[in-house]
Structure 1
Amino acid sequence: MPHIATSWLTPAAGAAAARCHAVHVRLPDGADAELMSRSLDAAVRAWWGGDATERLPRLWCERVPVDRASGDDRVRAEAGRALHPRDEPFRAVLLAFTDGQAELVVVAHRERLDAESLHLVAAVLTGRLSHDQVRPATPEDPGEAHGATAEAWRAAECAAGLEWATRDGSAGGGTGRVAVELAAGSADAGASLAVAAAIVLARFEGQDRPLLGVLRNRRDRPAGALGAFDTGTLLAPDLSGAVGTADLLAGAAQALDGRGGRCGADRYADLVRRAGGGVTVGVVVAGAEAGGGAEYGDGAEGGGGAGRGEGPERATPYADGHAYTACQSAPFPLTVVPGRTAAGLPQLIVHHRLDAVDAESAARFARHVAFVHEQLATGGSLAPGSVQLLDPEETARTVQLGFSEATLAWTPERIDTVFAARAAERPDAVAVTCEGQALTYAELDGRATRWAAALRDGGAVAGDRVGICLDRSLDLVVAMLAVLKADCVYVPMDPAYPADRLAYTARDAELRAVVTTLGTFPRSGGTWWVRPEELEARGSGPDRVPDAAERAPEEAAYVIYTSGSTGRPKGVVVPHRNVVALLAATRDDFGLGPDDTWALFHSSAFDFSVWEVWGALLTGARLVVVPFWISREPEEFHALLRAERVTVLNQTPSAFAQLTAADRRSAERLAVRLVVFGGEALDPRPLRAWFDRYPEERCRVVNMFGITETTVHVTARTVTRREALSGSRSVGRALPGWHLYVLDELRRPVPAGAPGEIYVGGEGLALEYLGRPELTRERFVPDPFTGGRMYRSGDRGRLRPDGSLDHLGRLDSQVKVRGFRIELDEIRTVLLEAPDVVAAAVVVEGGDSGDAAQARLAAYVVLGPGGDPAEVRRRAQSVLPAHMVPASLTAVPALPLTANGKLDTRKLAGHAERPAPPVPAAPDDRGTGLAAGLTSLWEELLGVPVAGDDNFFLLGGNSLLAVRLTAAMRERGMPSLRLRELYLNPTVTRLTRVLEGSDT
């Protein structure tokens, strides 16, 4: 590994110093302060004397009570002191030392004087040039050479955020310095390092054409021109694979040498805009090797260290000393400089702005650039994607980041076996309650045993799959446990799903039986349809105990169907042991035990319910079942949580936002001690109000990332007020027994902080996709680091150096809308199955501001002759569950495409036929009284005209907007609305009748 040295400069003036730079000139024979002062007065009056508003600078003289050899710290401090006030062009200070030597330090704001102009000022003050020979360029008087330079500085100041690094907002304009010895030299180190920096930057930021700023050495300056650097060039190498590294090196060499042409300010700014942001990395060719110095700022002969922390430039030596440039903040967030050590060995120097890149991230960047440079220096041409960023040692360290520091101590068991142990320990404790009914552990165990015996008597055998299609109730929990006791596999289905979807699930899972109360449940040959009361009757009697379980903990316990890109959902098969492992991994950390009360808030078809049901029952706690309609009424849900004194609450962030609004309106506080978030990305900033009412020491908030295929949860992070203030995207470290990697397209670990695809391994992996061997092989792949299996999640993320994971969204067409995992391709496939649909696209619109209520699915279809969008929508409603039905379906002449032939989602909405903005209707059209008020309110919320018989949900309404509707009605003094009534009566006309008490 290369040796790394780090140093930094911390300016005294904080953010004001971020735009300051300095030049200091060593004067071995001293200086005539009076003569220098007169030269300064004459120069500044000639340059700026006509501006009455300008505050003209003067020479400040200071005697330093040490000799020059001991005065480095004083010079460094003066060069690092920010310029105030801003209306002064520059500050000039002459430091006189006891040995007769002197140092001239000139400090300016970058936007007032660029680096070349700063050198010109110093040259005039030291007598090298006359003020009538030169004129420093200012924003009011930009020369051609300076225009691009000023534009470059401004672009660099606007550099895009570096998500892979840690920022120090208190660092001000401070700059750090990292030096890495290079194991391989090159005839053109600048070009090699530029390409290496581009490859590393591209991997860190997930792009094919990274943009680098180039600070290029210009050797064509006329004599007497002391600023020899031009910053008006950009380098944007193509790393898509179309060009090999040999061609990339040749192109970079041409650009750095100036043969590639020079772009002016307009072209430079245009390139920056096209790149979508500022310049993150700048590359410098400073002529250091030719001049024999390590870099500008370290000094040609070891002196003048005041510039340390910047230093991409070194001027031609003065006749009576040396000039050094010292920027108080690096010109780019990362500035790469080739150089040599004191021993003459090649090295890489990276200057990093502390307000953008921390020292550890800069060192990591420098290490990777050096390693890539070594590969490029070996000769030959490589595909950019085949270049390695990590050497074997760092690869091993990076792999270990994704493993938990804690070990998982547990014994694989069946779910029903663990439940039996809890029931034996506390048979009289209440296990589950729902709407005033309750079952103790002994009663729940006994009823589930009877139902299990009835299932076996009905023909179910070990390993058979049994569907459960029940509303949230005591019977739902009994049925889940009963299926497991019968040594079968339960398949939960939501009764609200369309009949076609229920029928598909029954066929695909080859269900032996279905436990349901739906009289309309689609029947199929060979499947036994049975009601809970029938199971109870069949199982009653002496010795109604099922045979002992035959299957091991490693075999299937349940199958949950998730959205699938093929147009139909896919079943995820999860074994008993995974659920037991999940509880073992979290029990001690979360303090889970018999004193807790959990809420079953989510549908049994959503894998969050696995955590809620078994998290409670396998730890001896009490489970409160939340009926569907109460789960949709935040006020009633809050009242239930208070009445039942729920201590463990699991929520999607969207649902929790509704609950916290209800909580703020309530004088009574909840007993909750643990809130677990899952199901969708969490923006922690809105949690600040929650922490005001429920401080961290009273209620722990945990953000967890997980996938159905990895058994609900993979990581956990405690969210504190600090995270709420910073808006952290971290989902924490892997749970004990789980591990994760972030890999590139070739399944190589990416550096810490760089984005890639999340892979998950360990105890939580599902067995397979039911009946989908090809898909199973595609998503459950060999783990090259442990020899086991890992799940390719399709999620994008980055691992931080501390092992925590940032979740960055999806890589494919899968989305999360209000906690539901949805494959857009599944919806698109259903639309394409309609006879009149020629082409279709589905996108998520709205929600850009972070408002989950505004996020909605929008479908666009190209129809054949005579096609009817309304008929296409009706067909989609008959197949898709409600949360997957597009809020809008618009017919368009054609789907807009990009130049690459891909769907252009940005233009799609512009090509669509959108409803006109709401126009106030005449009183006769709106009706009167309550109906008129409801119509007006719906139009405000939905943004479309509303007629009396228009369906709230078909106009784009959803559960979150429904909650807002109830709140708005309350604020306007309208009758109280229960969400159940809105779902059952979703038009203004019908809802008005209900609210006015009419049965007609």
Structure 2
Amino acid sequence: MLRRGLGVADVVRRSVDLRRHAPAVTDPLLGKSLSYRELWSRSGRLAAALVRRGVAPGDLVVVDSARSTDLVVAMLGILRAGAAYLPLDTRAPAGRVAEILDDVRVKVAVSDGRPDSVLAAVAPHLDVLAAEQPPPAGKVLLPDAGGDDPAYALFTSGSTGRPKGVLVPHRAVLRLAVAARFCTVEPGDRVAQLSSPAFDATTFEVWNTLVNGGEVVLLPSVAELAMDEWVALVRRERITAMFLTTSLFHALAREVPDACSSLATVVVGGEQLELPAVRRVLAAGPPGRLVNGYGPTETTTFAAYFDCTGESVAGLERVPVGYPLQETELYVLDEGLRPVAAGEVGELCVGGAGVALGYVGRPELTAERFVADPDGGPGLYRTGDLARQLPSGALEVLGRRDRQVKLRGFRIELPEIELAATATGLVDAAFVEKEGEGPSAVLAGYVLPAPGTDAAALPGELATRLAGRLPSYMLPPRWQVLARIPFGATGKVDRAALASAVVAAPVDAGPAGPLESELLELCRQVLGGRAAHAGDNFLDAGGNSLGATQLASRISRVFGVRVRPAEILLAATMGELATRVENLRTEKGGAAREFPAENRR
């Protein structure tokens, strides 16, 4: 057990003392690396600069940086200044960033100076520093921070149409990182850093590594490389441990099931883990440990874990979320927050040192979701997930009490998208549902036009308006226009009947030739059975970056040519993509041929 009040930087300092010249953060593609001594020195200079700018304990400091060595310097430097960091999603539109900054009182930001940063436009009042700072002129006393002091804030989707900031203390980060049951990191281990700075998996990737003397290795997303190149990079960089979103794991399981065989530990999380994908990886060449990790942002990345082995998943119908992490308690409670009997369904509540402090500036919502811990701990967080205890003692999550969903690792409140759509004035009503699971999952949007709105132009206009308000992962790839709102027997909207109430669309002309036809079939498989038409682009058809990676892999296998995922995402239509594939085959000297059925899967 850690003594109460210890801070994250205090524990990282132990690694610095023991491993001064060992690498702490490495960017292999850029050839950049910081030793523990260099990381400590640079973060100290930044901390001194922040204190001199008036940053005080408990303040929030914005971090506007892509994944880089500078990002890690900024995170550690802010903690050493006694403050808490607020990382922004570098891909978020200006409207989303402005909305977040309106909710918090910040006066200083640390930025990597990217030319596409929206920070200057939405918050010109901020005092912006670079992560690289010169040595201070004279000694600067850095304050202590730890225990219940805030370490960072992350903003997640909000059911009221407004994002909410989760405030996480030092003791919660250290509960995740020290003596971790779900993933052991030892001195010298190389842990991949793949997540967006605004995604809570970064907490695991950075702090579990640095607290234990490992090396943070910055790797590109699998969507940035061909899948086989990405797997080769992971192996070449001798990665020891890695977090994968469930969607990415599912894609790897389908395309390269032995992709993780060189790793000691792979932790998967974000959505329900598919049992067939787990079994395929276990059969093809698993990592040393394959762990299903579960936990909302409010419980500091993970609250439960389950080791997936052939024995542990035998006879199961779904993968459990498992058992509590260290210094964590899990409860299955009824509506009155009383324990239910083993095997009965109730709401999963989390207690222990990993529970967050609450929501930034949202006392009513904090009181609703963070309640008293019967064991006298920091408090319980009501996850809103329905769960039950299996005979083995492991917990199984069955779904949501509300309408929050997980998509490609992101937590999304569907009402937020609906409210944003109606706020445009273009529609009288909007309905958003998640369709499918795993890599083929997609948001489906349905709207009833407002009087005077051109129904034909509505989907494009609505998508354009929302792109400035919501991040890309919250945008349905296609909005379908309703002729009417279907109601059920109780008078409520019949969401299951929405598709049947859509205005009829023009009939697609069909594929132009055998190659295009085969390409559309590959696309249909990647999209989980949804048809794609020659006039669609991949995104309109319901695709995403992970699906593009899968499709690129299948194009390589079936047609014998290499297409980058980015080309699939940027192609105006599937017909244009088919032309690109045909041209590549011609350049390569490939003749037209029949495509064997076994190559299509």
User: Which TM-score band (shorter chain)?
Assistant: 0.7 to 0.9
- 1:768-801 per-position Cα deviation (integer Å, ceiling 9, x unaligned): 1001011001111123454752111111001235
Contact 1:935 1:946 in 2 (8 A): yes
Q: Which amino acid aligns with 2:242?
A: L
Q: Which amino acid aligns with 1:682?
A: L
- Displacement of 1:599 in angstroms is 0.5
Picking from 77, 89, 113, the partner of 1:494 is 89
Contact 1:412 1:581 in 2 (8 A): no
Contact 2:245 2:270 in 1 (8 A): yes
Matched with 2:267 is 676
- Displacement of 1:556 in angstroms is 0.5
**Alignment partners' CA distance in 2, 1:470 and 1:994:** 35
Contact 2:548 2:566 in 1 (8 A): no
**Alignment partners' CA distance in 2, 1:561 and 1:910:** 36
**Alignment partners' CA distance in 2, 1:787 and 1:479:** 31
Picking from 127, 132, 151, the partner of 1:528 is 127
Matched with 2:300 is 711
**Alignment partners' CA distance in 2, 1:640 and 1:973:** 24
Map 1:180-329 onto structure 2 (within 5 A). none
What SS does the aligned partner of 2:151 have?
strand
Contact 1:918 1:943 in 2 (8 A): no
Matched with 2:188 is 595
Find out whether 1:455 has 2:50 as its counterpart.
yes
**Alignment partners' CA distance in 2, 1:648 and 1:729:** 21
Q: Which amino acid aligns with 1:711?
A: T
**Alignment partners' CA distance in 2, 1:715 and 1:891:** 41
With 622-631 and 673-682 compared, the bigger mean Cα shift is at: 622-631
Please give the root-mean-square deviation of Cα atoms over the aligned residues, in Å. Answer: 2.8
Picking from 421, 438, 445, the partner of 2:40 is 445
Give the alignment's TM-score, normalised by structure 1.
0.54
Find out whether 1:977 has 2:559 as its counterpart.
no
Find out whether 1:415 has 2:8 as its counterpart.
yes
- Displacement of 1:921 in angstroms is 4.2
**Alignment partners' CA distance in 2, 1:545 and 1:703:** 47
- Displacement of 1:646 in angstroms is 0.8
- Displacement of 1:708 in angstroms is 0.6
With 671-680 and 782-791 compared, the bigger mean Cα shift is at: 782-791
Matched with 1:641 is 234
**Alignment partners' CA distance in 2, 1:562 and 1:845:** 21
Find out whether 1:469 has 2:64 as its counterpart.
yes
Matched with 1:790 is 380
Map 1:449-598 onto structure 2 (within 5 A). 449-516=44-111, 517-519=113-115, 520-521=117-118, 522-530=121-129, 532=130, 535-536=131-132, 539-541=133-135, 546-586=140-180, 590-598=183-191
- Displacement of 1:491 in angstroms is 0.7
Matched with 2:291 is 702
What SS does the aligned partner of 2:148 have?
coil
Find out whether 1:429 has 2:15 as its counterpart.
no
Q: 1:465 to 1:632 in 2, by over 3 A?
A: farther
Find out whether 1:605 has 2:198 as its counterpart.
yes
Matched with 2:446 is 860
- 1:197-235 per-position Cα deviation (integer Å, ceiling 9, x unaligned): xxxxxxxxxxxxxxxxxxxxxxxxxxxxxxxxxxxxxxx
**Alignment partners' CA distance in 2, 1:803 and 1:838:** 48
Q: Which amino acid aligns with 1:699?
A: G
- 1:717-759 per-position Cα deviation (integer Å, ceiling 9, x unaligned): 2111023443343222212321121111122211110001111
Matched with 1:813 is 403
What SS does the aligned partner of 2:491 have?
coil
Q: Which amino acid aligns with 1:871?
A: E
How many residue pairs end up in the alignment? 569
Q: Which amino acid aligns with 1:489?
A: A
Picking from 263, 266, 277, the partner of 1:686 is 277
What SS does the aligned partner of 2:273 have?
coil
What SS does the aligned partner of 2:106 have?
coil
**Alignment partners' CA distance in 1, 2:139 and 2:361:** 32
Q: Which amino acid aligns with 2:312?
A: E
Find out whether 1:657 has 2:250 as its counterpart.
yes
Matched with 1:913 is 503
- Which of 1 and 2 has higher RCO (CA within 8 Å, sep 6+)? 2
Contact 2:485 2:493 in 1 (8 A): yes
Contact 2:222 2:549 in 1 (8 A): no
Map 1:18-29 onto structure 2 (within 5 A). none
- Displacement of 1:836 in angstroms is 2.1
- Displacement of 1:636 in angstroms is 2.7
What SS does the aligned partner of 2:384 have?
strand
Map 1:101-112 onto structure 2 (within 5 A). none
What SS does the aligned partner of 1:494 have?
coil
Q: Which amino acid aligns with 2:74?
A: A
**Alignment partners' CA distance in 2, 1:944 and 1:802:** 44
- Displacement of 1:985 in angstroms is 5.0
Amino-acid identity (%): 37
**Alignment partners' CA distance in 2, 1:799 and 1:600:** 33
Matched with 2:369 is 779
Structure 1 segments unaligned to the other structure (5+ residues): 1-407, 924-928
- Displacement of 1:427 in angstroms is 0.4
- Displacement of 1:802 in angstroms is 4.9
Contact 2:47 2:142 in 1 (8 A): no
- 1:817-847 per-position Cα deviation (integer Å, ceiling 9, x unaligned): 2221110011111011011211111111233
Q: 1:652 to 1:834 in 2, by over 3 A?
A: same
- Displacement of 1:870 in angstroms is 2.1
What SS does the aligned partner of 1:586 have?
coil
Q: 1:807 to 1:938 in 2, by over 3 A?
A: closer
**Alignment partners' CA distance in 2, 1:496 and 1:973:** 33
Contact 1:703 1:717 in 2 (8 A): yes
Matched with 1:72 is none
Q: Which amino acid aligns with 2:487?
A: L
Picking from 966, 970, 979, the partner of 2:552 is 966
**Alignment partners' CA distance in 2, 1:936 and 1:757:** 41
Q: Which amino acid aligns with 1:650?
A: F
What SS does the aligned partner of 2:483 have?
coil
Structure 2 segments unaligned to the other structure (5+ residues): 585-601
Contact 1:982 1:991 in 2 (8 A): yes
Q: 1:693 to 1:412 in 2, by over 3 A?
A: farther
**Alignment partners' CA distance in 2, 1:863 and 1:614:** 48
**Alignment partners' CA distance in 1, 2:568 and 2:489:** 45
**Alignment partners' CA distance in 1, 2:325 and 2:206:** 20
Matched with 1:944 is 532
- Displacement of 1:581 in angstroms is 1.5
**Alignment partners' CA distance in 2, 1:585 and 1:914:** 58
Contact 1:567 1:825 in 2 (8 A): yes
- Displacement of 1:568 in angstroms is 1.8
Contact 1:562 1:569 in 2 (8 A): yes
Contact 2:355 2:378 in 1 (8 A): no
- 1:672-698 per-position Cα deviation (integer Å, ceiling 9, x unaligned): 111112211112332223223446xx7
Choose 1 or 2 for highest CA Rg.
1
- Displacement of 1:624 in angstroms is 0.8
Q: Which amino acid aligns with 1:835?
A: G
